[in-house]
């Protein structure tokens, strides 16, 4: 038996060591699977910036916004989920593609946004790009040539196409792109529902290319390229280096913490966590998933959940050992009892991640991807790898119960009796944040401190004549821009190898533009012709904001349904969602009172808090559900207080480990990283507080009211 366990341990060590090696070094000269091969976003590594201008002289705001939104969808479909698209001036659209080094390749992939026309055999245009909703390359099994394009038309196109296909039945309708015929399919039937198939395309490559031309030609406005550049990172190398350093230090503290607190199980968890971290890096690299600040948020959250899963297991094992069971029986029972809490907590967060990915755009998709990957890997490492390591140690003779920890008898904490105090604290904190908004609206002109990403601003392209790195830009340009414009947090991007710098600030008045131009001319000895300034729209578009809000709403609804079905009590679901809303409002209060900039990191922080909050609440509710079976019927106060007391150490330890991770990021990070880490720390504390002092008492209130209603019904 010992021999088998030893071989198992040896194989596990080899697999984990191999994964760690691949994550650190990669494979081959391209370092495939390694950390250096992970695709980084614009904020971390820069990329390609393309500026399009409209062929039409005076495009409407609606056409510009529609075109921008369709370009966002186009970049998402190409895998550039972290692309930033925003308006510049009155007729330009900027497309920033992350982690790209070849502007020509990106332009080729994106396609040239030109004019799309469907022309009948009589030379009359029957459809234009405005009538096309979507075009996708597909395969139909069983056909000689399985490659087709599925064409979907909007309402106006549906009517036009029905007339055209009836008129030109068994004739060809040419599809022209910028005046050149790209295909001339024959009409085989009258199409009235706006859904058509174009067949006989020969290959998957041709089908995809033609579908791409149709999609990009379906933009409301015809565009032409004005300029394309390779630009530097927004946050700079320092932000990346400090984030990596903070991550390593934070993880090291957590690993030490787990060994001190849980001994052999803590060591097993550490091995599983190292394996987890390595697997995440390998999958990010192999999957070509773009990693940005929101993506890092997803990883931080999933690390917290990975630690949490192990703590739930170990707490259960300690409880079983306290009942004087054998070590083997305690291990078996501990994993069995912990599994439901781990699955429920992770599945609810995974539901949120899937909905955010399906409905979200840009950075929301990036967050959802890394979170979903992290959740799946964390469940695997906790329920499979940690279990395997512990069983191996037990089989090798490490059976001293003191090495696994024995739970001490817990004193029941009276939470429910003081529920009005807990509710009152939450109401006061949220009220302070909500009341601060109109005050700041009156004093500052806006309820929140919207950054460029949310409110738009001004972009100034300066031909300085020398290549500047991030440190030089921060040292030279920050004080200059601050003095000229009053903007305390400008953004800089270098245009690689061209001696140009892009300066992004809040919206500048004419006198501020003039002051900035004069300062730049004086400092660098350039002329006014070397400076080009335009107003830019928000990179986080209204559609993206609406998408984020809608996806969070639908995620909450799906979580409510899942929890209700899983726990067989809708009060659990309602209480969990109320706690989730509570945490969002608390963090919003922090943004409001402390005037933390509202930017990309705001969305990342809010999404992280949603995931963390729901997981923490579900774990506690799982214990409430279990205790209801063994306690006196109708003793809801006793059930809740006992459940909180039993899970309190787990809640504190989990929150502490996640808090440490983010706190190190806050201490070591640059200003932009600290702006992201502070709300996360508040959210972690709020998520723990709301699970214990909001969600649980709220469930108690609902159950008491239900019980009172039933009693009144019986009396009547």
Q: Which tens digits make up the pLDDT trace of 659-712?
A: 888 888 888 876 667 777 888 888 889 989 999 999 999 999 998 888 878 777
107-127 b/e (C-beta count within 10 Å ≥ 16 → b):
bebbbbbbbbbbbbeeeeebb
Sort residue 79 into left (φ over 0), alpha (ψ -120 to 50) or beta.
left
Positive or negative CA dihedral for 275, 281, 284, 285?
Answer: negative
In CATH terms, the fold of domain 116-218 is: Gyrase A; domain 2 (3.30.1360)
Extents of the domains making up the chain: 2-24+236-403, 47-112+225-231, 116-218, 421-433+543-715, 457-536
Summarize pLDDT for 4-17 with one digit per residue, the tens. Answer: 777 887 888 899 99
294 confidence band (pLDDT: 50, 70, 90): low
Helix 2-25 to helix 236-286 angle (10° resolution) is: 130
Q: What is the CATH number of domain 2-24+236-403?
A: 1.20.1640.10
The predicted pLDDT at position 114 comes to 64
Q: What is the CATH number of domain 47-112+225-231?
A: 3.30.70.3400
The predicted pLDDT at position 18 comes to 92
- DSSP per-residue codes, 42-89: HHHH-EEEEEEEESSSS--HHHHHHHHHHHHHHHHHTT-TT-EEEEET
421-433+543-715: CATH superfamily: Multidrug efflux transporter AcrB transmembrane domain (1.20.1640.10)
Which one has a higher pLDDT value, 498 or 191? 191
Copy the structure tokens of residue 90. 């009155």
Does 3.30.56.10 match the CATH number of domain 457-536? no
pTM: 0.71
Tokens 């650190």, residue? 24
Copy the structure tokens of residue 129. 């790009």
Same fold, 116-218 and 457-536: no
Q: Look up residue 235 and give its DSSP letter.
A: S
pLDDT at residue 236 is higher than 60: no
């Amino acid at each position: 038996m010992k021999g088998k366990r030893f071989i198992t341990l040896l194989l596990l060590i080899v697999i984990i060591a191999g994964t760690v090696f691949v994550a650190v070094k990669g494979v081959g000269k391209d370092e495939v699977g390694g950390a250096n091969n992970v695709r980084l976003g614009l904020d971390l590594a820069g990329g390609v910036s393309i500026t399009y201008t409209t062929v039409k002289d005076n495009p409407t705001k609606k056409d510009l916004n529609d075109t921008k939104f369709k370009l966002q969808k186009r970049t998402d479909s190409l895998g550039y989920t972290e692309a930033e698209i925003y308006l510049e001036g009155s007729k330009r659209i900027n497309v920033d593609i992350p982690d790209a080094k070849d502007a020509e390749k990106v332009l080729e992939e994106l396609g040239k946004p030109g004019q799309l026309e469907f022309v009948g055999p009589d030379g009359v245009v029957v459809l234009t790009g405005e009538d096309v909703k979507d075009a996708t390359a597909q395969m139909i099994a069983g056909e000689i040539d399985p490659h087709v394009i599925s064409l979907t038309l909007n309402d106006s196109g549906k009517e036009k196409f029905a007339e055209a296909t009836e008129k030109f039945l068994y004739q060809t309708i040419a599809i022209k792109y910028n005046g050149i015929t790209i295909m001339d399919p024959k009409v085989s039937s009258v199409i009235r529902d706006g859904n058509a198939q174009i067949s006989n395309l020969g290959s998957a490559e041709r089908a995809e290319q033609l579908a791409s031309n149709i999609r990009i030609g379906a933009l409301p406005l015809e565009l032409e390229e004005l300029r394309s550049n390779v630009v530097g990172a927004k946050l700079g190398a320092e932000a990346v280096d400090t984030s990596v350093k903070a991550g390593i230090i934070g993880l090291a503290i957590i690993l030490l913490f787990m060994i001190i607190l849980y001994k052999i199980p803590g060591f097993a968890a550490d091995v599983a966590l190292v394996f987890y971290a390595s697997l995440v890096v390998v999958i990010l690299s192999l999957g070509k998933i773009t990693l940005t600040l929101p993506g890092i948020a997803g990883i931080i959250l999933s690390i917290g959940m990975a630690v949490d899963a192990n703590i739930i297991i170990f707490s259960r094992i300690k409880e079983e050992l306290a009942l004087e069971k054998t070590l083997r029986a305690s291990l078996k029972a501990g994993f069995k009892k912990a599994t439901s809490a781990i699955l429920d907590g992770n599945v609810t967060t995974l539901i949120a991640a899937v909905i955010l990915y399906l409905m979200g755009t840009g950075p929301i998709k990036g967050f959802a991807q890394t979170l979903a990957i992290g959740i799946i890997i964390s469940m695997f490492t906790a329920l499979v790898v940690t279990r395997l390591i512990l069983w191996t140690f037990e089989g090798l003779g490490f059976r001293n119960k003191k090495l696994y920890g024995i739970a001490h008898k817990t004193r029941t904490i009276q939470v429910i009796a003081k529920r009005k105090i807990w509710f009152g604290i939450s109401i006061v904190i949220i009220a302070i944040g909500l009341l601060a908004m109109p005050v700041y609206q009156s004093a500052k002109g806006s309820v929140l401190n919207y950054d460029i990403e949310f409110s738009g601003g001004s972009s100034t392209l300066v031909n300085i004549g020398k290549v500047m790195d991030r440190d030089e830009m921060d040292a030279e340009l920050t004080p200059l821009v601050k003095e000229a414009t009053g903007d305390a947090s400008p953004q800089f991007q270098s245009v690689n190898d061209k001696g140009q710098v892009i300066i992004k600030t809040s919206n500048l008045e004419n006198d501020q533009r003039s002051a900035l131009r004069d300062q730049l001319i004086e400092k660098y000895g350039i002329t006014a012709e070397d400076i080009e300034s335009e107003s830019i729209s928000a990179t986080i578009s209204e559609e993206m904001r609406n998408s984020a809000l809608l996806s969070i709403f639908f995620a909450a609804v799906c979580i409510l349904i899942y929890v209700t079905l899983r726990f067989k009590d809708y009060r659990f679901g309602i209480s969990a969602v109320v706690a989730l809303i509570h945490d969002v409002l608390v963090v919003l209060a922090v943004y409001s009172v402390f005037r933390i900039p509202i930017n990309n990191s705001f969305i990342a922080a809010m999404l992280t808090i949603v995931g963390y909050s729901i997981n923490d609440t579900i774990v506690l509710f799982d214990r409430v559900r279990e205790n209801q079976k063994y306690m006196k019927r109708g003793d809801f106060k006793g059930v809740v207080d006992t459940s909180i007391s039993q899970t309190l150490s787990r809640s504190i330890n989990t929150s502490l480990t996640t808090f440490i991770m983010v706190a190190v990021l806050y201490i070591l990070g640059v200003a932009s990283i600290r702006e992201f880490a502070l709300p996360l720390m508040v959210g972690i504390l709020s998520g723990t507080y709301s699970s214990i002092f909001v969600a649980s008492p709220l469930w108690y209130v609902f159950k008491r009211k239900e019980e009172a209603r039933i009693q009144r019904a019986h009396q009547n």
